[in-house]
């Protein structure tokens, strides 16, 4: 494998986070080559040099690696819906664990010895408070369990240098690059708050389950304002962490795990207040419903390790996440992508 290659194989790069990372890689002097089955991704996000295919198609991945000689791989491809993973655990273990193992094995057998892996705070499970990477790993749903299994397999691969990035709540978009979140259905908090406030067609909101508006689940938690606190990170900050992780591995860094969060956290009520102000919707006053079972009061990353080793920290504000998400969800590209799925 040539140490001078600037080519990086990006699985799942037609999805939300992978497409933003590929975009930043291009701007940082790398050449990302996306492989994605488009099971949940989008053609608009795939970028130049895109190859459609499954990560478990060993013949395809082997041919791609032989052809491109990438310096490393970034692995985003996975299913991400926690609720669905509870209803259909086998689907999640097959894609997120078993296919990831096949993908890692194929890469390793072809001489790719550096991988950056997208993991999640869901591997911590019941955590409450400010979590370091040493926090107990007790995922409470098949999504988190399947991601943890892939993490552990990757760490055990002989000769492989890997960086595992455990993201907390990723939000925001890069509308200037024609990129943003286009999940179907949409279960993430930020788009669920923003989208009903920006005048999108009723048909689109209904299809995404957003036509009933947003509600705050629980305002009696032991937090600064009673609502649950989570850790939101702008997708472009997440992308910068990937570029830093890649450079770290190329420089000979050893396998490691990093939390990616803001280290402070934001309450649901604070996001509601920010949305009110950024989107000029003083009338936005969502109802409060009882707590949902299993929702911890506070889930926030301690990201000191990423700052110390990778020189990374999240810099973009909640306001920037809301503003960029609103601009993205108003765009023709977004509407066409979702309405195309409904047609
Ligand atoms: N979105 C978040 O807030 C978040 C938080 C923590 C971790 N993550 C992790 O980040 C990664 C990306 O998440 P996302 O939000 O961009 O999801 P996404 O669904 O938008 O993107 C995933 C992409 O992977 C592709 N894919 C899935 N299975 C595949 C397969 N077997 N072969 C080829 N392509 C396949 C899909 O078509 C899609 O384009 C996932 O691994 C997820 O676990 C996401």
Residue-wise pLDDT for 244-282, tens only, equals 999 999 999 999 999 999 988 999 999 999 999 999 999
Give residue 308 CA to ligand 1 midpoint distance, Å.
27
How much is the average pLDDT of 231-250? 98
Task: Out of 143, 167, 221, 248, pick the active-site residue.
Answer: 143
Q: Is the pTM of this model over 0.75?
A: yes
Give residue 3 CA to ligand 1 midpoint distance, Å.
28
pLDDT at 1: 43
Strands 72-75 and 51-52: unpaired
CATH 3.90.25.10-classified regions of the chain: 175-229+264-308+318-342
Give residue 14 CA to ligand 1 midpoint distance, Å.
9
Average model confidence (pLDDT) for the chain?
Answer: 95
Cα–Cα distance for residue pair 273/271, rounded to 1 Å = 5
**Torsion angles phi and psi, residue 215, rounded to 5:** -135, 150
The encoded tokens of residue 100 equal 């990831």
Atom of ligand 1 nearest to the CA of 121: 6
Contact 19 CB / ligand 1 (< 6 Å): no
Choosing from 50, 52, 80, 182 the residue with most ligand 1 atoms within 8 A of its CB, the one to mutate for a pocket test is 80
Q: Which CATH architecture has domain 175-229+264-308+318-342?
A: Alpha-Beta Complex (3.90)
Contact 107 CB / ligand 1 (< 6 Å): no
Atom 12 (ligand 1): residue with closest C-alpha? 76
**Percent of the chain scored above 70 by pLDDT?**
99
Sign of the alpha-carbon dihedral angle for 123, 129, 130, 135: negative
Contact 324 CB / ligand 1 (< 6 Å): no
Contact 172 CB / ligand 1 (< 6 Å): no
Residue-wise pLDDT for 74-89, tens only, equals 999 999 999 999 999 9
Atom 6 (ligand 1): residue with closest C-alpha? 120
Q: Name residue, tokens 């509600």.
A: 215
Give the residue ranges of DSSP H helices in 110-172: 142-155
Give residue 77 CA to ligand 1 midpoint distance, Å.
5
**Torsion angles phi and psi, residue 17, rounded to 5:** -75, -45
pLDDT at 288: 97
pLDDT at 4: 66
Q: Strand, helix or coil at 79? A: coil
Among residues 232, 213, 339, the alpha carbon closest in space to that of 287 is found at 213
36: left (phi over 0), alpha (psi -120 to 50) or beta: beta
- The single-letter DSSP state of residue 289 is E
Contact indicator for 12, 75 with CB cutoff of 8 Å: yes
Contacts of 221 (CB under 8 A, 6+ apart): 227, 228, 229, 291, 297, 298
Q: Which CATH architecture has domain 7-173+231-261?
A: 3-Layer(aba) Sandwich (3.40)
Q: Which residue has the higher pLDDT, 28 or 212?
A: 28
Atom 11 (ligand 1): residue with closest C-alpha? 76
Contact 17 CB / ligand 1 (< 6 Å): yes
Distance from the first to the final alpha carbon of the chain: 45
Contact 147 CB / ligand 1 (< 6 Å): yes
Asked if residue 338 has pLDDT above 90, the reply is: no
Contact 95 CB / ligand 1 (< 6 Å): yes
pLDDT at 134: 96
Among residues 146, 154, 189, 140, the alpha carbon closest in space to that of 168 is found at 189
Please tell me the total number of residues recorded for the chain in this structure: 343
Contact 118 CB / ligand 1 (< 6 Å): yes
Give residue 224 CA to ligand 1 midpoint distance, Å.
33
The encoded tokens of residue 339 equal 């309405």
Asked if residue 181 has pLDDT above 70, the reply is: yes
Contact indicator for 263, 303 with CB cutoff of 8 Å: yes
> Which run of H or E residues covers position 243?
helix 235-250
The radius of gyration of the chain from alpha carbons, rounded to an integer in Å, stands at: 19
Q: Strand, helix or coil at 237? A: helix
Contact indicator for 121, 132 with CB cutoff of 8 Å: no
Atom 21 (ligand 1): residue with closest C-alpha? 15
pLDDT at 49: 87
Contact 164 CB / ligand 1 (< 6 Å): no
Residue-wise pLDDT for 108-157, tens only, equals 999 999 999 999 999 998 777 899 999 999 999 999 999 999 999 999 99
Cα–Cα distance for residue pair 75/9, rounded to 1 Å = 8
| Segment among 2-16, 66-80, 143-157, 160-174 with least mean pLDDT | 2-16
Cα–Cα distance for residue pair 71/10, rounded to 1 Å = 11
CATH 3.40.50.720-classified regions of the chain: 7-173+231-261
Residue-wise pLDDT for 293-327, tens only, equals 878 899 999 999 999 999 999 999 999 999 999 99
Atom of ligand 1 nearest to the CA of 42: 39
143 catalytic, yes or no?
Answer: yes
Contact 100 CB / ligand 1 (< 6 Å): no
Kindly tell me the burial class for residue 250, based on how many C-beta atoms sit within 10 Å of its own C-beta (0-12, 13-18, 19 or more): middle
Cα–Cα distance for residue pair 124/180, rounded to 1 Å = 27
Atom 42 (ligand 1): residue with closest C-alpha? 80
Contact indicator for 99, 54 with CB cutoff of 8 Å: yes
């Amino acid at each position: 494998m040539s140490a001078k290659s600037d080519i990086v194989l990006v699985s799942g790069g037609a999805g939300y986070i992978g497409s933003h990372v590929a975009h930043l890689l291009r701007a940082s002097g790398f050449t990302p080559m996306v492989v994605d089955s488009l099971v949940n991704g989008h053609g608009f996000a795939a970028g130049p040099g895109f190859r459609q295919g499954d990560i478990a198609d060993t013949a395809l991945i082997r041919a791609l690696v032989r052809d491109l000689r990438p310096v490393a791989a970034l692995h985003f491809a996975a299913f991400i819906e926690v609720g669905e993973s509870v209803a259909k655990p086998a689907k999640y273990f097959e894609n997120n664990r078993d296919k990831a193992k096949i993908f890692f094995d194929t890469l390793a057998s072809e001489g790719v010895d550096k991988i950056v892996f997208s993991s999640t705070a869901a591997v911590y499970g019941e955590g409450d408070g400010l979590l370091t990477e040493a926090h107990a790993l007790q995922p409470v749903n098949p999504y988190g369990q399947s991601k943890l299994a892939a993490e552990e397999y990757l760490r055990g691969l002989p000769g492989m240098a890997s960086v595992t990035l455990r993201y907390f709540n990723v939000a925001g978009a890069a509308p200037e690059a024609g990129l943003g979140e286009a999940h179907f259905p949409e279960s993430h908090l930020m788009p669920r708050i923003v989208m009903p406030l920006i005048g999108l067609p009723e048909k689109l909101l209904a299809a995404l389950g957003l036509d009933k508006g947003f509600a705050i689940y629980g305002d009696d938690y032991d937090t600064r304002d009673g609502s649950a606190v989570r850790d939101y990170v702008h997708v472009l900050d997440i992308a910068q962490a990937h570029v830093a992780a890649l450079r770290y591995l190329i420089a000979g860094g050893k396998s490691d795990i990093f939390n990616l969060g803001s280290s402070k956290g934001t309450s649901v009520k604070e996001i509601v207040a920010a949305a009110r102000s950024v989107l000029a919707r003083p009338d936005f006053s969502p109802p409060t419903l009882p707590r949902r079972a299993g929702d911890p009061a506070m889930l926030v990353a301690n990201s000191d390790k990423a700052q110390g080793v990778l020189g990374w920290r999240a810099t973009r504000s909640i306001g920037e996440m809301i503003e960029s998400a609103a601009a993205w969800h108003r765009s023709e590209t977004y509407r066409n992508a979702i309405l195309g799925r409904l047609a």
